[in-house]
Amino acid sequence: MILKKKGFFTSINPGVKIQSLTIENGVAKVDFDEQLEFHVGGSCRVAAIRAQIRETLKQFPTVDNVIISIDGRTEDILQP
């Protein structure tokens, strides 16, 4: 993988799919499939996943805030 050779890595499991992404009034709402939660174990990894998603989306000038969901759920997701 080219990114790995350049020193980049991901905390997100392979095979994770984005089910929907909308950006409205500066808020990006991104909904993932259940794969995002598989084998995340540990608060550091959960924080890294959240940060990776948030900071990737916030690099776009139309995004100020990010709401992450899994199969439409925003509560009790990505728990260590």
The tens place of each residue's pLDDT in the chain, 80 residues long, gives 555 667 777 888 889 999 999 999 999 999 999 999 887 777 888 999 999 999 999 999 999 999 999 999 998 888 76
Q: Count CB atoms within 10 A of the CB of residue 66.
A: 17
Write the single-letter amino acid at 1.
Answer: M
pTM score of the predicted model:
0.85
Is 2.60.120 the CATH classification of the domain at 2-70?
Answer: no
C-alpha distances in angstroms, 56 versus 9, 20, 30?
A: 13, 16, 12
Instruction: Report d(CA 37, CA 16) in Å as an integer.
Output: 9
Measured CA to CA, the distance from residue 2 to residue 25 in angstroms comes to: 34
Q: Where are the domains of the chain?
A: 2-70
